[in-house]
Structure 1
Amino acid sequence: MTSITKIRPQADDATSARGHMKIVIVGHVDHGKSTLVGRLIHDTGSLPEGKYEAIKAMSERRGMPFEWAFLMDALQAERDQGITIDTTQIWFKSEKRDYVIIDAPGHKEFLKNMVTGAASANAATLVIDAHEGIQEQSKRHGYLLHLLGVRQIAIAVNKMDLVNFDEAVFNKIEADFRAYLASFGVTPTFMIPVSARDGDNIVSRSERAPWYKGPTLVEALDGFEQVSAPTEQPLRFPVQDVYKFDDRRIIAGRIETGRLKVGDTLLFSPSNKKVQVKSIEAWSVPHAPSEAHAGQSVGITLSEQIFVERGDLASHADHPPIETDVFNARLFWLGRDALTVGKRYKMKLNTSEVQVTVQAITKVIDTDDLSSAASSRVERNSVAEVTLRARKMIALDDYSTLAETGRFVLVDNYDIAGGGIISMDGYADQRKLVTRASSNIQRVEHRITTDMREERHGHAGGIVWFTGLSGAGKSTIAVEVENRLHALGYQVYVLDGDNIRHGLNSNLGFSPEDRAENIRRIGEVAALFASAGVIAITSFISPYRSDRDRAREVAPDSFHEIYVKADVATCESRDPKGLYKKARTGEIAEFTGISAPYEAPEAPELVVDTANSSVDDCVQQVVDYVRENFSLESRRAKHGIWPPEFDI
């Protein structure tokens, strides 16, 4: 667990009356972060009385020269090793406002603590040694700040005294690091030449750098904008706990974004239950509040006693979060063991905890030059783009839309092993797919039973669901299978993507949400065919595993998944409709396998490999499978059941 040391100034009325901003200090080990902050709090008069003298006396007792860093490095192990391993919080005050400065460790082995500190910061100061120049860790910290959503960044180019305050040295570091940050969309707010040891450009302007016309470090910090609570964003109220007081059930939590007031109708996700706010509870106040906003921790009571639990996410119904069981993420990995495909981790998102599996590793990113490469594993201290799948529906937001509910951490064996931001690119919001809007509906009870239909047709009805990439051969095989089964006396019909979209689904496009709705409707239609005793062969890319699982749930005993397997290169070499060519040139957006994901089946009933087998062989595999699993003769022989005898 991260240890926190807090150094506070002597409190006075003026200090307590002002707000504060959280600033995280990061940088490569030995680049002088702790020295910079120690000098900063001393030169501004923010040290508690006697602290400087106590540290100086301690240094003398140990026979060590006094270091400003000793004001920060409060742990014995840090003094012995000369590195910061703790996350230390210091209260600091300028003439403008108060700050909490978080000094985060720079050593590679302590990046986890650095992430812990940076995650709660409103702004950052990144320290670079002018003599050593930009290091790998400097770039990694810059990328991490971007990953954690810190947008206000001051770069302190420290130890300028070691390069004689050479303007050319500073200009070179400034140009190179600005270019690096710009490559992923970050613009540092300030870049300042400083000497932390001597106090140059920390509080007072340095006479040794007359060429520098920008602000001092304190002026730069004062120039950061105060981050206000995001009250104008959609409401997000994660439930932390439910308490029982007398006859009240109080739903407690912290409002991350937006506002809520008495009388509002809240939607709780992922259960999709709606209820009104009856009251907002408060203690030691003359009157109960009627409204609460982002940044406040509150308790509310509801107009109805619905089941609500820790991890639920409350919102207003007109701006709900996304519901999904799969999403993409940009992840920084800190675990001792490498992150690998198929491994499970506990994900913490706001107040919820859910098991997730690594479905895919799209690429691993080199934070030094931002190049990327395919890999089957993510090693410690690496950044990667991955796809995670949860064991149940979860409520979340795309990070680009709402950062507060778009960040998560992964836990491995009780240790925080990684953190990242959520992207829903290529994946659908499944809320509408799992919410039943109709009520008071009763199914028609048919007088013709399933057994009667099977006896008439000589086979069971069912769904033969073909899935695979465009160009894999699904439609070609489906049509030929239909032809051969019809010749054998089977009642069979092909539902193909093109003909379905000309009619039933003509109002749907190709966004992730429309693709999901397309498959939902087809699954329902195919289930009706199956209940009528017909074998419905569906030929659709159906790229999302959750959509195919949902189609299976409609008729679980009748669903047979056939994976028409062919890799992207093979499909692209065929490209019968020229779609891959258009996708490569950007004419078609969200094209499966190129710019949109395809999730191959985990355990299909049958795999036909069209990259390595002829069409005729693949068709015969499917026909043999249908005859073995659908014909009454085969089914009865398999289970030792013989046809009943009828009296005539």
Structure 2
Amino acid sequence: MTQTTSTAAAIAEEELASNLAANTNDDKARFPFAIVGHVDHGKSTLIGRLLHDTGSLPEGKLAELKAASDKRGGVLEWSFLLDAFQAERDQGITIDTTQIFFTTAKRRYVIIDAPGHKEFLKNAISGVAQAQAAFLVIDAAEGVREQSRRHALILHILGLRQVAVLINKIDLIDHDADRYAAVAAEIRHYLGQLGVTPLALVPISARNGDNIASRSEKTPWYDGPTVVDVLDNFVPAPAPVDQHLRLPVQDVFKFDHRRIVAGRIESGRLRVGDRLIFSPSGKQARIASLESWNAAPQIAAGAGQSIALTLDDELFIQRGDIAAHIEHQPHLAHQATVRLFWLDTAPLLAGDRLKLKVATSEYPVFVERIHAVIDVGNLAATQSDRIDQNAVAEVTLRSPALMALDKFDEFAKTGRGVLLRDGDIVGGAIVLHAGAVDQSRNLYSPTQSIGSADRASANGHRGAVLWLTGLSGSGKSTLAVSAEHRLFQRGRQVVVLDGDTLRQGLNSDLGFSPEARAENIRRTAEVAKLLAETGLIVFVSLISPWQADREKARRIVGENFAEIYVQADIETCKSRDPKGLYKKALQGEIKNFTGIDQPYEAPEEPDLTIDTTALTEEQALQQLLDLVDRLCALNGYESRRPADSYTI
């Protein structure tokens, strides 16, 4: 038995090695690098010249290029090699991310030409995300521009550390060494603030070919590498097969009697017999087989391969689940701190609702907190309540659904994602931290109810009842509704129970005698308690004139109950009279009206007194919201981190 197991393992390792070798020999194994920079700084021209000078142009392509340039009455435009869209040729800019293959004497490459114009940053990010290294192109005459800095920041955010700077159009400054040195010093300083040391700063003329494939005689003061030298010195990323297993589920197919799970292995390796855990559900099973179409069955597979597998148990697995080995699972969390690049024209605000797409998973999220917005120019972190287009920020996202995430510095493919709004991509994000949940509890067991701690973790706050009492016209309902609106904008789960609304439905059978008023409060307290136990922040707006009745409500609700006395003297309430009730009571049309012919017992020791005669509406609202924060906060949830402690 031992011999058989050992032999099977050896065969598996041999087959895995063979598969990985096969992957290495196809186009996917080409070294991918990106070329980024400000619009019109010469990225596409550089690529065209690079292809020409390395002998990588297809036969007849140069003649076609010359004909296209002559047709437009201009000089030879190397950029026309890549600008596939007519709009790009007419406007002289790159719109889409272009990929093209070429080869040097050392190895094969995939060039990713990322657009420089700020309106097309979404395409730039999608391109750079596939690269292992990058060239940042800067016009020697124009120098470092805002878009140059923004693209450098994108490289940093996406985790690229192999960066070289190409200072282009050196011919336009008469190959001036001093100007080159000034531009080089400026961009070196900026990259240094990001923690990035450029591998080289090469003076080039993409149009003329200076220092592209061979050293130019026009820059005798430069003794560094050429562009091709830099390329060939880039170091390929370690094979992800050596990392822990991450297999995002792409789809599940029912085929004859089998349920087949399909996906692409992003990192690690697996083999038949391995026990997998699927996150975030926590379901486990062993791999029964690796399925192949019209090919010999496999018993092992590794990173980069698209596979289909069956399990030894009929589990309900779905798209978006992430398969891993049990000892190395993703983080499970309702909360994640991310660094994002915002792309939408509409600003991102605290409380905004989005979808976070990571690999094949999509999670509903809302912006719980904006920690800092980063100034692209000087990298200073500032406090702000909004994130404008093309800005970088650090925010905390919260999801009512349990998320399976990795930190970006641990697993790049499952530690970064995009933000969606109404189906459109509006931002890119990398995960800095994922708040852990208690994995010992199985929230999905049909025999176990969802506890209050689980609801609080999902909502980002605890449930509570805030009982607003005071005379008619004191401002109870106004405050409750305003607080509800403000908290809802922040992504909180909140509801208002108003006395008038309750008496039109649940308590429509009750009058206004002392006994009926007591029953009105009892019923309201019971409903409020149920809602708070489901995780809601409940505002109750009732005159509730008797101290004994309010104490009974407190006993019914239990913990997380707060009595708020909305204070206003009777004369002020009469002058406000928002519903015209005082006028009717004074005319005898309403009997037993509190403040006229029925007394009101002010709270003896309220949790908060809000004097609406002395405070503005905004000041009164802020007092109420501050109490909500104290009462409903999770442990550490309301902690603040100053902007100057932010590190990028």
Q: What TM-score, normalized by structure 1, do the two folds share?
A: 0.65
**Letter paired with 1:95:** A
State which of 402, 405, 418 in structure 1 corresponds to 2:411.
402
Aligned to 1:95: 105
Alignment of 1:173-184 (within 5 A): 173-184=183-194
1:27 positional shift: 0.3
Q: Check conservation: 1:128, 1:138, Cα contact below 8 A.
A: yes
* Structure-2 residue corresponding to 1:187: 197
1:419 aligns to what? Answer: 428
Residue in structure 1 matched with residue 346 of structure 2 by the alignment? 337
Equivalence for 2:211: 201
C-alpha change, 1:168 and 1:548, in structure 2 (3 Å) is: farther
Match for residue 317 of structure 1? Answer: 326
Whether the 8 Å contact between 2:338 and 2:430 is mirrored in structure 1 is yes
Quick check: 347-356 or 60-69, which moved more? Answer: 60-69
Aligned residue in 2 for 1:73:
83
The C-alpha deviation readout for 1:245-288, integer Å capped at 9, x for no partner, is 222211110111111111111011111111111111223433x2
Residues 438, 60 of structure 1: CA spacing in aligned structure 2 closer, same or farther, 3 A cutoff?
A: closer
Verify: 1:119 aligned to 2:126, yes or no.
no
The one of 240, 243, 260 aligned to 2:250: 240
Q: Which residue of 2 aligns with 1:432?
A: 439
> For residue 109 of structure 1, what is the amino acid of its counterpart?
E
Aligned letter for 1:415?
D
Q: 2 CA distance for matches of 1:607 and 1:75?
A: 69
CA contact (8 A) 1:267 1:274 kept: yes
Contact 1:20/1:99, CA 8 A, preserved across alignment: yes
Q: 1:547, CA displacement in angstroms? A: 13
Distance 2:202 2:610 in 1: 59
1:380 is matched by which residue type in structure 2?
Answer: Q
Q: Provide the residue aligned with 1:348 in structure 2.
A: 357
Alignment of 1:485-634 (within 5 A): 549=535, 560-562=559-561, 608=607
Separation (CA, whole Å) in 2 of partners of 1:402 and 1:547: 37
Secondary structure of residue in 2 paired with 1:266: strand
Q: Cα distance 1:76–1:263, how it changes in 2: closer, same or farther (>3 A)?
A: same
Summarize the alignment of residues 168-317 of structure 1 with structure 2, pairs less than 5 Å apart: 168-286=178-296, 288-317=297-326
2:436 partner amino acid: D
> What amino acid sits opposite 1:409 in the alignment?
V
Letter in structure 1 aligned against 2:91: Q
The CA distance in 2 between the partners of 1:335 and 1:170, in whole Å, is 36
Gaps of 5+ in 1: 1-13, 443-461, 468-545, 566-605, 614-620, 622-648
Report the Cα distance in structure 1 between the residues aligned to 2:204 and 2:96, rounded to whole angstroms: 24
Other-structure match for 1:37: 47
CA–CA distance in structure 2, aligned partners of residues 304 and 96 of structure 1 = 49
Give the structure 1 partner of residue 393 of structure 2: 384
Checking the alignment, whether the CA contact within 8 Å between 1:324 and 1:431 is kept in structure 2 is: no
User: For residues 95 and 88 of structure 1, what CA distance do their matches in structure 2 show?
Assistant: 23
Q: Is the 8 A contact 1:255 1:294 kept in 2?
A: yes
- 1:75-112 deviations in Å (ceiling 9; x for gaps): 11111111111211111111111111011110111111
Tell me the number of residue pairs that the alignment of Structure 1 and Structure 2 aligns. Answer: 455
Q: Following TM superposition, by how much is the alpha carbon of 1:392 offset from its aligned partner in structure 2, in angstroms? A: 0.5
| Alignment-mate amino acid for residue 315 of structure 1 | A
Distance 1:239 1:134 in 2: 43
Gaps of 5+ in 2: 1-23, 458-531, 539-555, 565-604, 613-623, 625-648
Kept after mapping to 1: 8 A contact 2:334/2:435: no
Equivalent-residue separation in structure 1 for 2:153 and 2:360 (angstroms): 26
Q: Is the contact between residue 260 and residue 292 of structure 1 (CA under 8 Å) also seen in structure 2?
A: yes
TM-score relative to the length of structure 2: 0.65
Give 1:163 shift: 2.0
**Cα gap change, 1:548 to 1:168, in 2 (>3 Å):** farther
Instruction: Find the residue that maps to 1:231 and give its secondary structure.
Output: helix
Q: Distance in 2 between matches of 1:193 and 1:62?
A: 29
C-alpha displacement of 1:440: 11
Q: Deviations over 1:608-629 (max 9, x none)?
A: 559999xxxxxxx9xxxxxxxx
Contact 1:335-1:412 at 8 Å conserved across structures: no
CA drift of 1:211 comes to 2.4
Instruction: Please name the residue that 2:494 is paired with.
Output: none
- Match of 1:404, SS state, is coil
CA distance 1:558–1:281, change in 2 (3 Å) = farther
Q: Tell me, in whole angstroms, the C-alpha distance in 2 between the residues paired with 1:292 and 1:235.
A: 11
AA paired with 1:185?
A: G
What's the offset of the Cα at 1:560? 4.3
Helix, strand or coil for the counterpart of 1:367? coil
Residues 62/430 of structure 1: CA separation in 2 closer, same or farther (3 Å cut) = same
CA distance in 2, matches of 1:547, 1:194: 67
CA deviation digits over 1:498-550, x for unaligned, max 9?
Answer: xxxxxxxxxxxxxxxxxxxxxxxxxxxxxxxxxxxxxxxxxxxxxxxx99959
Q: Find the aligned partners of 2:398 and 2:563 in 1 and give their Cα distance.
A: 23
Cα distance in structure 1, aligned partners of 2:606 and 2:147: 47
Give the drift of 1:431: 4.5
Q: Counterparts of 2:611 and 2:336 in 1: how far apart (Å)?
A: 32
CA–CA separation in structure 2 for the residues paired with 1:223 and 1:76: 35
